[in-house]
Structure 1
């Protein structure tokens, strides 16, 4: 038995278009936020603005495509499915709150572990994946891209 109720095609298109408008507003906010990042041009000609603005452009383009062709949508989730849907943004908020006190590695570990468990991964595999993910991104950002990653105030970073 499905945990979401079926909806009419008209309602599904409306939900899709409202979702597309929300995506467009998020793209606009993200692009504006990225455009006001200040940096020294001499340190990097592209600077830290490029990544958030590029993501905003991609998100905006996808939002426009979704608005023009919203497709079908599921009904609103209930029960355990609703809990899983709400757990992802809650987990993201927890990960962000952990970033400063516990650092990048613990934050990305928590996000990966929680996401894996929410999607039904066995705990041991989720733990191994989370450790691997944290180590991988620490290596990529810290050593390959030479981006400063905070170790966290708890660990003296």
Structure 2
């Protein structure tokens, strides 16, 4: 199989995966319940529009696939897989650690994956957590859960 044919096949597989994510996201967004008296568009509008945009772009990519990089191997593959794993861990810990704890896990872990020394990753994680806590809690005045461990 030629390299060009292999590139198109990988591109089309990626397009189908993105289309599946778009459909799942759209279905999830469309099932959001809200009070009739809220915003005229309601909270469904943004997720459904984003899902439609992603679905449209993935269909374009399916029809006209571009060139792709080779699938990484070894340490590069581990780094690529580490980011979604850290994100999943952060989401899983959200209820027990709250916003601050899960944000620290996410930013600290991402810094380590991208090669930051341990000291810099710790400092960056703490500073990012303080920054986002300040933005959401004080600037945007959003309630942020402290988690069952700290609550």
- Following superposition of structure 1 onto structure 2, how do residues 109-120 of structure 1 map, counting pairs within 5 Å? 109-120=104-115
Q: How many residues align?
A: 150
Secondary structure at the aligned position of 2:149 is classed as helix
Gaps of 5+ in 2: none
Q: 1:116 to 1:148 in 2, by over 3 A?
A: same
- Distance (Å, rounded) in 2 between the aligned partners of 1:139 and 1:54: 29
Note if 1:39 corresponds to 2:34.
yes
Note if 1:62 corresponds to 2:57.
yes
Secondary structure at the aligned position of 1:154 is classed as coil
- Alpha-carbon deviations, 1:65-105, whole Å to 9, x = none? 32233222223322111211221221111111110001011
- Following superposition of structure 1 onto structure 2, how do residues 1-157 of structure 1 map, counting pairs within 5 Å? 8-156=3-151
Q: TM-score, normalised by structure 1?
A: 0.81
- Distance (Å, rounded) in 1 between the aligned partners of 2:87 and 2:63: 30
Gaps of 5+ in 1: 1-6
Relative contact order higher in (CA < 8 Å, ≥ 6 apart):
1
- Alpha-carbon deviations, 1:95-149, whole Å to 9, x = none? 1111000101111111111112111123333333322322232233333333322
Q: 1:136 to 1:41 in 2, by over 3 A?
A: farther
Secondary structure at the aligned position of 1:155 is classed as coil
